[in-house]
Amino acid sequence: MEPQVSLRLGENIDSEVAGASRASSVVDVVGNSSGRISFDRDDIAVEPHEAGYILEDVPHLTHYMPHLPTYANPIRFNPAYSVVKQYFVHVDDTVAEKVICHKGDPRGTHFRRAGPRQKVYFKSDEVHACIVTCGGLCPGLNTVVRELVCGLCNMYGVHKVIGINGGYRGFYSKNTISLTPKVVNDIHKRGGTILGTSRGGHNTKKIVDSIEDRGINQVYIIGGDGTQKGAAAIYEEIKARGLQVSVCGIPKTIDNDVPVIDKSFGFDTAVEEAQRAINAAHVESESAENGIGVVKLMGRYSGFIAMYATLASRDVDCCLIPETPFYLDGPGGLFEYVEKCLKENGHMVIVIAEGAGQELLSESFHSTDTKDASGNKLLRDVGLWISQKIKEHFSRHTKVKITLKYIDPTYMIRAVPSNASDNVYCTLLAQSAVHGAMAGYTGFTVGPVNGRQSYIPFQRIIEKQNKVIITDRMWARLLSSTNQPSFINTKDETEDEEDEEHPLLHENDYCSLSSSTMPAPICRAGSLPSQHKKKKPGLFKKLSINNSQRWGTVTQLKPSQQPSY
């Protein structure tokens, strides 16, 4: 049977079939076109499927070093894998980015499935691997380091693995840490990272010089979006020099704001550990008259930890995250809701992400653009600020005496060892990274996409940040749990609507949405064709939008279908 793959205009593709050597060609047909393509070598025919998907492939060493030799994968001789029915991942296996679709939708984007391949591009005794951890601490760092070492040594028989001490800066140092399965045996039981870490210190040329001088041919980089940007730059420099070095990134962020992947390691542990702080705040607030507990959790730009910790706790009365603006005074404001909770329950718990309400802080203080070594903007302590504001409100405007306790467990959460769930997850991440590097892939990161480990291009990881979608059902579940208001100022909302220019569409008109943030099209009575204005003055219009394709069409609604306001 001829292999079926997805094709994109002008894209380089690789195809490997049983008994055939690796072949490469440039494709000039679109994925859902009909046609046949013959390769120059081995006469491999590729027939695009009529419902073809887009494969966002990752780079391979053979893209710039086409004559590399291949070797049989040592895993086939590993006793641990003797019980596995199928040792290797098929070369055409892919993972769909989206598993929910509508009839008629294209199959969308796929990623290459992670796992061991039949052929490898490194001899085990010639591998010289290095591991580096960068950025802030996160539960699971030591587990990833341990499983990288054990995967290389125990599965592939690698003898030389070193740790770079102190983040990217460690590449400039002569001192490294020799890593063996014995050295890393128990490190998963500790928090932090045995390799040390730091922010910044990235100089692409010096780092690649160090990699080349030391004879390193596999680089495993564990860090957040800034670190992955650095890893992408390292890959580009290595490619430009034509070095046989695989560069693999393992995404790390406790905030869970990495796009594409299902979640980042350490997130489950962080949510679990945050329960301790929320429980303490609940006990404190419940034990005092008019008690208020305020807990600040991690979440510079995304409120996932605050949202999931709130849902898991069920003791929280109000959750504030960066994605949802709020205001303090006036009807529907935070102060009014606090007064309501104290009147009804006698106590309340507020969870706030560190990045929430920063626009309010900038009004109270002179805003600064100070950044840390990683380029992250330094934020003011919103938990301390909002605690003070609540105290001032009750002392000035009401006769109610409150008892407020503020808890900031940030560094306690970051420093704990990973829980059982994250330990298993870190194992899968590390082993997938090792399989990918040994198979010759480079310039990629690993992570689960819809539950399946995948190889993802660096660009997809660093192009944006994952954020809580406040129109999603998960946020609705939180609002149902806390019973908090939306905190959207109706005055501001009205002003915003007046300022926005909404396109007016006629029947059967098509619209194109340039971005998810542009104002939604509104169909008003004034947009009706003139022949309908007199005959059917009450006619409304409905805009149907296909989210995946960003197009829509306008249809008429019968009077019985008109929305009620």
CATH of the domain at 173: 3.40.50.450
Asked if 14 and 23 count as a contact pair (C-beta separation under 8 A), the reply is yes
Q: Shortest CA distance to 254 belongs to which of 243, 267, 242, 273? A: 267
> For residue 495, is it within any domain?
no
Is 106 a member of any domain? no
* Residue 526 and residue 409 in one domain: no
d(CA 54, CA 144): 31
The answer on 285 and 379 residing in a single domain is: yes
**The pTM of the whole model exceeds 0.95:** no
Q: What is the pLDDT of residue 181?
A: 97
* Domain presence at residue 13: yes
Q: For helices 473-482 and 304-313, give the axis angle rounded to 10 degrees.
A: 50
Determine if residue 501 is labeled as part of a ligand binding site.
no
412 is in an annotated binding site: yes
Same-domain status, 453 and 507: no
What does each of the 565 residues of the chain score in pLDDT, given as a tens digit?
444 444 443 344 443 333 333 333 333 333 333 333 333 333 322 233 344 788 999 999 999 999 999 999 999 888 888 777 778 998 889 999 988 888 777 778 999 999 999 999 999 999 999 999 999 999 999 999 999 999 999 999 999 999 999 999 999 988 899 999 999 999 999 999 999 999 888 899 999 999 999 999 999 999 998 999 999 999 999 999 999 999 999 999 999 999 999 999 999 999 999 999 999 999 999 999 999 999 999 999 999 999 999 999 999 999 999 999 999 988 889 999 999 999 999 999 999 999 999 888 876 665 556 666 555 666 789 999 999 999 999 998 888 899 999 999 999 999 999 999 999 999 999 999 999 999 999 999 999 999 999 999 999 999 889 999 999 999 999 999 999 988 765 444 444 444 444 444 444 444 444 333 333 333 333 333 344 333 333 333 334 444 333 334 344 444 444 444 3
Let me know if residue 109 belongs to a domain. no
Is 241 labeled as ligand-binding? no
Task: List the CATH number of the domain containing 342.
Answer: 3.40.50.460
Q: Binding residue per annotation — 301? A: no
pLDDT at 316: 97
Same domain, residue pair 156 and 273: no
Let me know if residue 259 belongs to a domain.
yes
- What is the pLDDT, as a whole number, of residue 379? 78
Please report whether residue 404 resides in a domain: yes
The closest of 258, 232, 168, 235 to 454, measured between CA atoms, is: 258
Flag whether 224 is marked binding: yes
Looking at the structure, tell me whether residues 504 and 552 fall in a common domain. Answer: yes
Q: Answer yes or no: is 352 within a domain.
A: yes
| Residue 403: Cβ-neighbour burial (10 angstroms; 0-12, 13-18, 19+) | middle
Active site residues: 255
| 294, 424: one domain | no
Say yes or no: 410 and 286 in one domain: yes
414 is in an annotated binding site: yes
**How much is the pLDDT for 227?**
94
What pLDDT shows up at residue 304?
Answer: 97
Quote the CA–CA distance of 209 and 232 in Å, as a whole number.
Answer: 16
User: Is 254 marked as a binding-site residue?
Assistant: yes
CA distance 256 to 466: 7
Does 494 show up as a binding residue in the annotation?
A: no
Strands 128-133 and 218-223: what pairing?
parallel
Is residue 433 located within the same domain as residue 483? no
52 is in an annotated binding site: no
Q: How far apart are CA 245 and CA 216, in angstroms?
A: 7
- What is the number of domains present in the chain? 4
Residue 430 shares a structural domain with residue 482: no
Structure tokens at 549: 């394709």
Does 298 lie in the same domain as 396?
yes
- Calculate the dihedral angle through the C-alpha atoms of 250, 210, 442, 221, rounding to the nearest 10 degrees: 0
Domain contains 67: no
Say yes or no: 154 and 179 in one domain: yes
Q: What is the C-alpha to C-alpha distance for residues 149 and 157, in angstroms, rounded to an integer?
A: 10
Q: Which residue range is the domain that position 46 belongs to? A: 1-52
Asked whether residue 193 falls in the same domain as residue 222, the answer is: yes
| Last residue within a domain, chosen from 34, 52, 70 | 52
